[in-house]
Amino acid sequence: MKPRLNDLVATAKVVSIPLRTKFRGLTERELLVFEGPNGWSEWAAFTEYDDEEAATWLQAAIEWGFEDLPEPVRKHVPVNAILPAVATEEVAKVLGRAGKFSTVKVKVADAKQTAADDLARILEVKQLYPDTKLRLDANGGFTVSQALDLITEIENNAIDLEFFEQPVAAIAELAELRIEISKRGQKTLVAADESVRRSSDPLAVELAGAADLLVLKSAPLGGIKSALAVANSSKLKICASSAMQSSIGLAAELHFASCLSELNYDAGLGTGYLFGGDLTADRLVPENGVLELRRPEINTSSLEILKAEDHRYDWWVARLERCSRILGLES
């Protein structure tokens, strides 16, 4: 079922959810939700994204709310904890909220921090959780040289990385980095995340030799079916992940992970503890490092409590109208 624009606007709510810890420079997560035949759906394209990119996220939200969905092959998905680019003294407090976990993803390359800050945070994690698997995520924030320097420091400290997610921005830079890692006899695997946003991107990454694995999220790829098509066509291993969504949006990413033929890595879905609020009474947070497949019901009182200011609602609805036109929705 393809909705009309008016169907989306009729139930659209815009909320601003506070974050317990600054994440990607954000202190709150602003997003729009609407109701479809399947239940509530979330459109959480970051505000800096242009309309073309945001429209792909809207297509994913429409799929989750209005379309038939693939059948999952599992009911439980192991997830990693995530550590934002916090100061070293905050590491224990932030990860303490995550509960039980066997893998931590550490954010690095924050514009307001140094390489020494990144290394100190990584060393603190390993000291507190010596048996935990460790992966890094730079969101494309490093140069090749900077990424190599950090990898060298980590290996010099006898730390094994599960993988390094999007250390540099461009596919060509990822390929260059992998060549340099190999030349130096280093072991770090490189994962592509932001470099995979269209169905053709995985092939481009593979042909360039730019990654050892792909980190996939269904929202940026236009939905669960599109993301599964990418996963099934790639020769690389897949790690399912998410993009700081509320439990409404996170449920769609969980469904995607539950549909993958195999889980090669703990999924990046354990982000619920980073939020200071949510849109459901029964938040989608892991128990003993695992998420159970379910679709949480929206809490209408939360919609009111977390309601964004009127001018932000107007901004999102105007964006919704533009992106709906890109998708060819009727009014």
Q: Are 144 and 178 in contact (CB under 8 A)?
A: no
Tell me which residue has tokens 């290394």: 119
Listed in sequence order, the residues at least 6 apart from 180 whose beta carbon sits closer than 8 Å to its beta carbon are 144, 148
Please confirm, yes or no, whether 126 is among the known catalytic residues.
no
Listed in sequence order, the residues at least 6 apart from 75 whose beta carbon sits closer than 8 Å to its beta carbon are 258, 292, 293
**40: exposed, middle or buried (C-beta count within 10 Å: 0-12, 13-18, 19+)?**
buried
Candidates 13, 105, 126, 217; catalytic one: 217
Candidates 13, 105, 107, 126; catalytic one: 107
Pick from 89, 166, 102, 176: which is nearest to 132 by CA? 102
Q: How far apart are the first and last CA of the chain?
A: 15
Q: Please give the order of strands across the beta sheet that includes 103-107.
A: 81-83, 103-107, 133-137, 161-165, 190-192, 213-216, 237-240
β-strand partners of 240:
216
Please confirm, yes or no, whether 307 is among the known catalytic residues.
no
Sequence letter at residue 275: F
Which positions are annotated as active-site residues?
Answer: 107, 217
